Each structure stands twice: as structure tokens, then as C-alpha cells.
Structure 1
Amino acid sequence: MKENMKYIQLNNVFLIIASLIVGYYNIWAGIVMAVICVISIRKQIIEKQKYDEKMDSYVETFNMTMDYKTRQSISNLNLPLCMCNTEGIIVWYNKRFSEMVGKKGLFGDKISEYFYEIEMDIIIENANGSFDIDKKEERYFKAIYTLNKSKEEKDNTVMIYFQDVTDLENMKLLYEHSKPVVITANVDSFDEVFDSTDEKNRPQLEAEIERLMKTWAEEHKLAIRKISKDKYFMVTTEDELIKMEEERFSILDSIRSIDIKNLIPISISMGVSPFVNSLRETQLISNSALDISLGRGGDQVAIKRNDKYFFYGGKSKAIEKKTRVKARIIGYALRDLLNESKNVLVMGHQFPDLDSLGSSLGVVAIAEMLGKEAKIVIEAPNSSIDVLYNRIKSSEEYGNVFIKSEEAIRYMTSDTLLVVVDTHNPKFTEVPRLVDKSDRIVVIDHHRRGPEFIEKAVLVYHETYASSASEMVTELVQYIKERPKLNPQAAEALLSGITLDTKNFTFKTGVRTFEAAAFLRKHGADTVSVKTLFQGDMESFMIKAEALNKVRIFEEKIAITYCPKTMDNPQLIASQIADELLNLKGVQASFVIASSRGKEVQISARSLGDINVQIIMEKLGGGGHIETAGTQIRDITIEEALDKVEEQISLYLKEEEK
């Protein structure tokens, strides 16, 4: 009301000046303006009198309802207290309230001018309750209100008193910052690194790792315990964890910089969990976070906080394991599960590619070696697999191997083994309902692990160093029987999957990759026939040419482009363009955006290894590997997708600079 009076007074001054100016030029018009001015001022005086009478009535009513001693007690109460009408206008307050606000003469002011958190609509609706007040003058308050009802609704008042909760809030803050945090650490591929180091330098290597870990632990007040040659258990506080995050876990860089003439670079992975319910549960979550970190290739920290994962690091490539011990153990376990099953269902990810289809057919071949019927679940083929799909469908041996989702659900029984290949995310599988329905699931995947995983799987073969799911299945084939025989059709399908994910044996290609390819070649895989699976049509060729013509270089080392035309399945073309862009001199990473004829935009990302495209794609809802990643975004234009990609690239580069 006070603010309104100021505006009214300014308005009156304006009217008087206006009438004088008009009267100067035209006496009759000036008289009319003067009359209007007098009437307006008269009306405002009457309204002001009514408002003052109303305010006096509130105060008078308040005074009449309480005796002198009660009024004195409330006025002198060492607690900020005020009374408002139902419109939020202050009609009474005590000395402590005035001191808290830091102002006198508050009658007629609105309570919301000083405390925006107090909402009269909520007070009227609830009658009793409280509001948390933001920090004021280094103090925290809680506003506790009570609605006092009168015979006349217009005479209702609200009593509000303010409780100082600063000590309680500071105690909460202290508790939050001192809560325990459990960290589980693992030196990545310790045996491989140790074996690659000269025997005389091995003690020094182990001592240097331990020295760096203990120095870092002392810096951040960590209680640290080495529980095996390559594992550490640590406990710290939330306050120290915040500091570690601010410096982006510098221990990762320190460990990575160790050079004791070890041929394989050394790195460390960590799983971190802030306190959750009990120390036991916190430790279990920390172990789970470590599994996530290792599943993503290691050399990183995974923090699970409020059901969300936060990642730091991830700059190194997964180290290929020379030994096949794990592949042999998984092969034997898979054989036992197949022997116990009535039939088998195999499925890959949505929008399957050659690796997904090739590894699926490889699993079918394994099942048939053991005399088990197996089917591949594919809802519909796409342009990236249609040639291989039609070859398989027209073959004599595998002509009836494909089934759709509804048929698969009818096909599944309690004795059916479900094998998921080339993905570990239940939402990305061809038919997520099958994952929900089955209790006997095997997962075979090579992608870096994300937060969502098929947790109820009875057997998991997850190796991020592997080039492809097809390579992993090829190794399993060799341990199912003593002398396995693989159909040439299945061998070609597996070889096509390896060829796709290694970009024709260029990326992520290790010794075991060539050994797997040699095994497939021995069993009849024709490399020329595989080559034809990658041929495109004229329309695709022209789309690639247009996209290459629109390339621009971002930050002098990243190539970005887009396909101007929509396509039925943009994944294959986008990935091929991204691969091609890496041939440009100076380009370390490439991003290609393509739009489907639906409402999806496909983003394919490739890297030579210095830039981790997986981290960038994860920010946009996707994933992959350091060198190969991608994502799909719905309901977005090409231009908006370009902006998002550039924004995430800029953020990534800034973080790397730090």
C-alpha cells in the first residue's frame, strides 16, 4: 500500500501540471482538467481513509482480544513475531521482528516483500504449517504460521513467528560434509603390466604405485588399506570427496605417468560411494561402481550418488589380455547352460548392425553344435544388414532362424535360454520385454559399461578390450567342443561383424582379433563375399558426397558435418562418413549427424584415441568406446543437434585443459 501511495502522489502531481499546461493554452479545457484532478484527488483521499480505518480496525480488534499483560508479553517476547491479514499485509509486529527485518514502520507492508518464501495461498489452505527461510545475515530461520479465524472471514488473521535454526542447519551441514565415503580401487591389468616390465624393475614399479597412492591418501585424509597386490580399500569424508572432484581425481594422471620402463601403460580404476544407510551397503555400492568403472575400460573413477553415476577420467584404451583363460571358462559355463536348456533365443540391440547379427548367428551355431534349437529375434531388418539378412534367410541351414517379437514371446518357456549380444543395456535390446520375462539370461558384449545393465544375467562375458561381440563369440566357439565345426555362412557373418567394428582391421585390433579372423577363414569365411556386405548404392554415395562437402573443422582438430537429406536408416552412412573424416590431416575426431525419415537424429562419433568420444556421446544420452561412439536423439532438428554437439565438445575440451 505504501508503494501504491507513492505512485498515486506522483500521478496527482502529473495531473496538476497537465491541467496548468492545458489551461495556459485553453482556459476552458484547463478548467475541465482541474475538475477531473479535484475529483481524482478526492476519491484517493476517501480510499486512503477507508484503508486507514481498516488498519485501525485490525489493530483495535487485536488489542481488544488480549489484555494488557498478554500484549506486553508478546511484544517483549524474544522471538520475531508478526501478524498479517489474509492478503499478507502486516497489521502488527513486535520489536524482535523489526530488528530481524532491519526496518521500522512496517505497518501496511506486505510480508512477501521481506520473505518471498511465505505464500498466503498456502497458509489459507493449510491453516497451520511452516516455511523454510533462505539464509539472511548469516542466520537460518523457519517461519511457523497459524491462521486465526474470526466470525467474519475478512477479519481472519495470520500469526507468524520465526524460529532461529542456524545451529541446527550448521549441524546438518557439518554432518553432510563429514559423512563417510567408501572408495574401492583396482590397478588395471596389473599382471599384464607387471609381466611387461623387466624383472629387475618390478619391485620399483610396485613401490611407485604404492607411494603415489599413499601420498594422495595423505593429501585427502584418506584411511587407506592395501588388500591385495592390485587392490586398495579407502575411507574418507564427503568434504574430501568434493575436493577430489574439483581436481578431477588427479591420482589418475599420477598413476598414468609412471614410467619404470614398463611396456604397457599403467592405470587405476575406482568405485566411489557416499554414505548410504549403512557402511556395509556403502561398501557394496562402491564395489558395484568399481565394476562399472572396469566395465567401461578402466582408467577412471565411477561415483554413484543418488542413483546417478558420475565419471572422471577414461583416457586410456582397454588393454588386450593375452591369455584366453576367461574365454575358456565362459565357454564351458555357456555349454553347461545350453545343455540344461530346452531351446535358445538370441537377440542383439535395436537397429542391428553386422556385429549384432553376426554374433547372433554365431551363438545359433554354438547351440546347434550341442543339438539345441535356436532362433534370432529381429523385428525388422534395416539397410545396414539387409544383404546379410537375406543371405541367411535364403540359406538352406538357417532359412527359418529369424522370428519376430510376438512369436518370440510365445516361443519362450521357463527352460529357454536368452542370449543377449552386442549390448548390455536392457532398454537397447531388440525386445526389452523378453529381458523382463526371462530368468535365464547370458550377456556377451564388448561396449564400455553404462549405468544400466542386465543385472539378473546368470552369465556375463563382458570385455571392453575385445574388438567386437563377433570376436568374443568366435573365441567361445572354440571351447564348446573339442573339434568345433562352423558353417561357412556363420563364419562369414562373424567375420563381417569383426570387419565392421574394427573398420577393416584398423581400430581396436589386437593379436586375438587376427587369431579369431584366421579361425573363421579356416572354416570357410570368404573375405570377398564379406566385402560385398559393405557396398552401398548410388543414393548413399551421393549423400556421403554432400555431407563431405559440408565439413567444417572445429577447434582445428575436430571435423563436424551433417547429411542434408533424411534416410530410412542413417546409422550406417553416418558411421561411414565419420570413418572417412579421420583420413583428413590434423583431424583427431569426427562427428556426423544424420536424420531418419522418422523423428530421430543419429550422431556417429569417431576418434583416433586422443579425444574420448564416448564421454561426449554419453552427455547426449549415448555411449560406446573411446574411439567409436554414437547416440540417437528424438524430436530434434539437425541444427539443434549440431549446437548440442558443439556445446558438449567445447565443455569436454575445457575440462581436458583443466
Structure 2
Amino acid sequence: MNNKSKRLDLFSYLAYLYFIVLFLMSSYIAYKNLALGITCFLILATLVLIYLDKKKRDVKKWRDRVQRASFNFSNLTKKSLLNLPIPLCILEMNGTISWANKYFDQMIGLEEGSTSIGDNLEDIVGEITLRKVLDESKVMEDEFIYKDRTYTLRYCFTKTDEKNQSGPEFRIIMYWLDHTDLDQLRTDLDNNKPALMIIEIDGYEDVIKSTPEENQSLIRVDIEKIISNLESETQGQIEKLDNDKYVLFTSKKSIKELEKNKFPLLDKAREIDRGNNLPVSLSIGVGYDGETIEETGKFASGAIDMVLGRGGDQVAIKNTEGYHFFGGKSKGFERKTKVKSRLIGHAFREIISQSDHILIMGHLYPDMDAMGAAVGVYDICKSYGKNAHIVLDSVNEAVEIFVNRVKEDKYFDDVFISHERAIDMCKKNTLVVVVDTHRPSYTECQKLLSLSNRVVVIDHHRRGVEYINETILLFHEIYVSSTCEMVTELIQYTDFDINIHKLTAEGLLGGIYLDTKNFEFKTGVRTFEAASYLRNLGAETLSVKKFFNSYAEDFLVKAEIIQRTEIVKERICISYAKAEIDNINIIIAKAADELLNIKNIEASFVLGMKGDTVFISARSLGDINVHILMEKIGGGGHIDIAGAQLKDVSLSQAYNMVKDIIEEYLEEEDE
């Protein structure tokens, strides 16, 4: 259209130029010959009149065509609005319907021949928001539910030709786009996405052996019945891979139903009683929402690994959003076999023998379990003829006495190095041994994990969502009392004669002493065997006790914490320390232990602040899983001993957060 207009303008300019040239030529002729010039002027005038008349007729013809097109367009618009296959209505600004098509009338339930014109929209469909924005160019949308159907309301404002005293009038054009069926289709597709569930029976052989022989077949039937019922409840397909392992193929909708009921099969398994001394518990890993079946399978595989790393008797669900956990109430049981320790010890020896540089580190703010295990690994390396270093930037009161004794002993010459020196020493082939933690962000020097391709992890904490996943050797046993017990077994049951220093033995015994709270918590046969072995190596219990000596002011802070304790529903203690001192994390841990001595108290939580970090120590007698509670705020640990560290929050904010998760837990228990 623009090109045509430009061509017409060019033609007009050329015509005017032509007439100007004729006028000049006629003037010249009249100058030479007057009679001939007058004739030329008459001819020129005739041509101009003819041109102007033609132009006038062309303009009229163009206007007629535009008018006819406008008329036709108006008719097309009216027909389109009348026959538009979606509900549409035009409203006054007060909500009165000034026009509506038949589909709108059908939508609101009017019989054929009836009309909604003149009615108010709110009287028909209920309360609805009409946005008073007089902007003709802006189309706005809103969601609205009417008669159990979901609509997207798309509406705009337009001026009318009518005018009143205040100016032009406006109307609202409203389109009702019904997407109920599309939403239902999307929901159905989402619900029918494939889901994969991997089920393992914890310690199956041990459970069967703990059952009287005449009841062993009955307990097997009980377990099979639970699995069979799960298959029918989820309308899925169960495949038995082994006596203690199953795979269920089902849909996402079925998993969501189990989620809503908090996986009752966990409780049903624990209720099985055929005289078995060990409880029946299930470890379940679920995956769904993968882009492919293969990815969904990887989600389920990662979920079952997570469950087993957290002690079993729970469900982990993994999808694109991350992990969700259910259950995890039972303590689990100690496995008496030491085969795994022997195998790990042999593999560890091979890895050490192939390493030229070895760096050992625990977690930030190390305790005796981390430091005792680190020194134990150092002594193992030394027995194999390798030189190793322990990464330690600063010393806190929890390990101050032990570290000072190590530094004073010539046997441990140059054992401790700073972060900077460790980073300079660390190469791709450097062996980095991490003890007493599996979380990258909790390690003494996280950068070492990215510098080295050879990482070994030795830990006993329940597995969290964050973990070091690229390891050449993982020794992770959550039922063991402490990392020091695990290192002691590596020394005790390896096929190599390892001679460790007396101070190393005391450090390892100190770690066991700390994490078992003087052999009161989480102690098993293997714990006492490890302690006995260390005692035979010369570890003195009195020397170990001195590692935990405190200053007098620490007792006063602990007394203040106990004094301001709040008891929630006569079951849980929560308190905090006002003082900000360097060893606040140690004091609150001791205070949390003390609070468990109160009658009827099942768990305790104590908070303290140092710098920009709030430390939280949680303790339990076993009935309340403090690991799950601490995990909700980024912490972790064990069922009966856990903790968390919160940065950039005030002490009062952290206190309220802990109190909220306690109350939420108690409310869920009451349901």
C-alpha cells in the first residue's frame, strides 16, 4: 500500500513538471509569435482542466472503494462477533451487560431465545473484579472459576462513538476462554508419568535369624503380604530381584497418594511381630518426573542410596526439585560383622601405597571425634611409610588440649598445616582423606576437594542431601558410634601390622568417649571392642578425660542456659546462651546433654552465637529423631545427636525457627 502511494505521488510530481515545461515553451513561442503562443496556452489550459477532472474522479472512486470496504469489514466484524465460538460479552463500566453472543448465554445457562443483555455480570456469575484501567491498547487477563470450570478472562477497554457531558463513553470487551479440559488433560498426563520405587528390607538375613525357626516362614509371608498389598494399592507391577529387594513400576499419582498418607507401609512393617528380636524395616527409594525412563531410574537409584546412607527405615523421593524424606524413626541396629572394615582397610592400604602426598581433614570447628580420627589416619599413613599432613587452620577449646599435646610430641613433627599451605601442596593426584563429615561445605578446607581427583571419605553421620559424591573410596557406616571407632577398626582388622602411637590411641578413645557421651549413647559390642583394643595399646582413660576439661566460666554459662530453659509440652527442652564466646558450640552441646537428665524430657535443643553464626545442638533419648528436625534448617547428624549452623540470622530468629519445627513435629505426631 505504501509503495502504491509513493508511485502515485511520483506521477503527480511528473505531471506538474510536464505542465511547467509546456508553460515555458508556450511563453517562448508567444514571444516569437503571439498568435501561435496564444494557441499553445489554450491547449495547455485544456490539458490542465482534463488532468484536474480526471484526478477528481479518481479520488472519488478511491473514496467509494474505501467506504464499500469499510462497510464490508463492519459486516464481517459483526458476523465474526456473533459467531465467535467462545463466550464473549460487552459490559458497561458498572458491569451491566450491553451485548453478549449466544455462547456466553449458553455458558451461563440461558435457554435459546433468552438474553443476558441488561443484566449485571456480578448478579449472574458472582463476585468478579473489573479492572478500571482505561487503556485501549492493553489487554489484561484474569483467572476465574464458574460452575466448576476454569476460565481465562481476557478483556480490554474501548471507546464508543457515543458521547456524554463528561466525554466519550467506554465499554469492556470480555472474552471467556475455557481451559478446564486442557488443564485436566495436563493433570492426567502428569499423574500418569512413570514412577519407579526400589524397596529393600533392612538386614533381612539378620531379621530372619533373630526369629524363632518355627516362625521364620510366617515372617516371610508377612513381608510378602505388605509388598503385595502395595502392588494392588498403587495399581503397579512388582518385580522381585532378591529375597530382600523389590522394584515397583507405577505412576506418579499413586506415589502422591502414598506421600499424602506418609507411606503407611513403613509402620506396617515395624508392626510385624513373630518373635523376632530385630524389627522389620524397609528402605525405599522413589524416582519420578524424569525427562526419560532412564533418568527416572537414576532418580530412584540415587534415592535408595540416600536412604541407605541415612540408616534405612525411611523413604526418599527424588525428582527434579530434589529430595523429600518420610519416616526415619527407628534407630537401626548394629551389624556385628567386621568384613566390610577388613575390605575397606585393604583397599585403603592400596590407595595410600599409591600416593605420594596425603592430606587429612575433618570438619570446621573440629571436635575430638574429627581430630582423633584425623590423627589415627595420619598414624596409618606413617605405618605404611607415607608422609601425611592434617589440615587445621585454627584450634578451638574442644580439641585444644589434645592438639597441644600432639604438637609437643616429636613423633608428630610438622603434622598440622594451614589452609594456604595445603592448597599449595594439593595437586590432582594428591590423596585427600575427609573424616567425620561427608558434606563439602562442612569440611575444613573445601577447595581441596576441587583440586584433587582422589578423595576418600570416612564418616558415620546420616547422609544428607549435600554430600561428596566423587570419591575413590567411601567408608560410610551410620550405625557406628563414631568415626574414631571406624578408624580403630581399620587399624585393628587390616592385614598389615600397624603400630600406632599411645597418644593416637588416646585421641581415638577420646573421639569414641565424646560421641557416645561416656559410653551412654549409641554403643554396641563393636564399640566396646574398639575401646578395649585402644586400651591395650596404652590409652589411659584419665588422660582421655583431661582432653575434655573446661574453664570455670564455661560452667557458669552452662548453668545460665539450664536456668532459662523452656519446656515444650513437657517433652522437649529448648534454651539458648546469651554470651558470645569462642567455645560456645562446646558449651551448648554439654548443656543439651545435661537437659536430657530432666525427668520425662525426650529431647533438648540449645542455641548459641559466635560471630555471624548461630550454633544449634540437639540431643534425644531416641524416641524423637533430632536428625530430621535439624535437617529442616540445613543441619543433620544422628537420630539422638544432631546439630546445625545458621548464618546471617539473629539468635532470636534462630530460636523461633527451632521452636516452630518442634511445634510442627509435635502437631504431626498428634494427628
Query: In structure 2, the residue corresponding to 1:509 is in which secondary structure?
Result: coil
Task: Note if contact 2:289-2:319 (Cα within 8 Å) is conserved in structure 1.
Answer: no
Q: Does 1:262 align with 2:262?
A: no
Unpaired runs of 5+ residues, structure 1, are 1-62
- Tell me whether 1:80 sits opposite 2:84 in the alignment: no
Look up the SS of the partner of 2:185 in the other structure: helix
Amino acid at match of 1:655: E
- State the partner residue of 1:290: 304
1:176 corresponds in structure 2 to 190
**Deviation at residue 474 of structure 1 after TM alignment:** 0.9
146, 150, 153: which one pairs with 1:140? 150
Residue 635 of structure 2 is matched in structure 1 by 622
1:70 aligns with 2:71: no
The aligned residue for residue 551 of structure 1 is 565
Q: Does 1:574 align with 2:618?
A: no
Q: Kindly tell me: are residues 612 and 342 of structure 1, through their superposed partners in 2, closer, same or farther at Cα, counting changes over 3 Å? A: same
More deviation, 188-197/540-549? 188-197
C-alpha contact 1:76 1:94 (8 A) present in aligned 2: no
Distance 1:414 1:89, change over 3 A: farther
**Which SS does the other structure have where 2:272 is aligned?**
coil
The aligned counterpart of 1:353 is: 367
Q: Verify the 8 A CA contact 1:101 1:114 in the aligned structure 2.
A: no
> Cα distance, 1:147 vs. partner?
11
Which position in structure 1 is the counterpart of 2:483?
A: 469
1:486 maps to which of 500, 503, 511 = 500
Give the match's secondary structure for 2:486: helix
1:178-199: per-residue Cα shift (whole Å, max 9, x none)? 2221110100111222222233
- Match of 2:582, SS state, is coil
For residues 360 and 106 of structure 1, the distance between their equivalents in structure 2, rounded to whole angstroms, comes to: 82
**Alignment match, 1:530:** 544
SS at match of 1:397: helix
Give distance in 2, aligned partners of 1:583 and 1:642. 22
Contact persistence 2:604–2:620 (CA under 8 A): yes
Aligned residues of 2:97 and 2:118 also touching (Cα < 8 A): no
Moved more, 371-380 or 130-139: 130-139
Deviation, structure 1 residue 646: 2.0
Letter in 1 for 2:151: F
Aligned to 2:56: none
Match of 1:168, SS?
helix
CA contact (8 A) 1:296 1:448 kept: yes
Distance across 2 between alignment mates of 1:192 and 1:181: 30
CA distance in 2, matches of 1:585, 1:243: 40
CA deviation profile, 1:118-160 (whole Å, cap 9, x unmatched)? 9989996xx89x95735443223346789999xxxx9999987
AA in 2 matched with 1:141: Y
Aligned twin of 1:9: none
Residues 1:612 and 2:625 are matched in the alignment: yes
Distance 1:556 1:107, change over 3 A: closer
- Does 1:202 find its partner at 2:242? no
One-letter amino acid of the structure 2 residue matched with residue 644 of structure 1: M
1:563-602 map, 5 Å: 563-596=577-610, 598-602=611-615
TM-aligned CA distance change 1:416 to 1:88, over 3 Å? farther
Q: Deviations over 1:423-463 (max 9, x none)?
A: 11111111111112221111111000111111111111111
CA positional deviation for 1:269? 0.8
Counterpart code for 2:358: V
Distance 2:338 2:218 in 1: 29
Residue of structure 2 equivalent to 1:240: 254
Query: Structure 1 CA distance, aligned partners of 2:245 and 2:387?
Result: 43
d(CA) in 1 for partners of 2:170, 2:470:
60
- Asked if 1:323 is matched to 2:313, the reply is no
Q: Which moved more, 1:546-555 or 1:196-205?
A: 196-205
Q: What residue in structure 2 maps to residue 226 of structure 1? A: 240
Distance 2:425 2:169 in 1: 73
Offset of residue 533 of structure 1 = 0.9
> 2:97 touches 2:117 (CA, 8 Å); kept in 1?
no
Q: Structure 2: where are the runs of 5+ without partners? A: 1-69, 110-115, 160-167
Partners of 1:432 and 1:68 lie apart in 2 by: 74
Post-superposition offset of 1:90: 11
Q: Which amino acid aligns with 1:612?
A: N
Taking the TM superposition and a 5 Å limit, the aligned residue runs for 1:82-121 are 94-95=100-101, 96=103, 104=117
Query: In structure 1, what is the equivalent of residue 462 of structure 2?
Result: 448
Name the CA shift for 1:203/1:142 in 2 (closer, same or farther; >3 Å).
same
CA distance in 2 between counterparts of 1:582 and 1:116 reads 57
Match in the other structure for 2:13: none
CA distance in 1, matches of 2:563, 2:121: 69
1:639 to 652, 656, 666: 652
The answer to whether the Cα contact below 8 Å between 1:182 and 1:275 also exists between their aligned partners in 2 is: no
Counterpart in the other structure of 1:24: none
What pairs with 1:401-420 in structure 2 (closer than 5 Å)?
Answer: 401-420=415-434
Q: Does 1:166 align with 2:180?
A: yes
Cα distance, 1:571 vs structure 2? 1.3
Query: Would you say the 8 A contact 1:92–1:107 is kept in 2?
Result: no
Q: Secondary structure at the match of 1:172?
A: helix
Q: Supply the distance in 2 between the matched residues of 1:80 and 1:645 (Cα, whole angstroms).
A: 53
The change in CA–CA distance for 1:383 and 1:120 in structure 2 (over 3 A counts) is farther
- Letter of the 2:568 counterpart: F
Q: Which letter does structure 1 place at the counterpart of 2:631?
A: E
Question: Retained in 2: the 8 A contact 1:185–1:270?
Answer: yes
State the AA in 2 paired with 1:417.
Answer: L
Bigger Rg over Cα: 2
SS at match of 1:583: coil
* AA of the residue aligned to 1:553: I
1:271-321 superposed Cα distances (whole Å, 9 cap, x missing partner): 011241222221221121011111111110111133321111111112111
Q: Given residue 653 of structure 2, which amino acid in structure 1 is its aligned partner?
A: E
| 2:263 and 2:326 in contact (8 A); partners too | yes
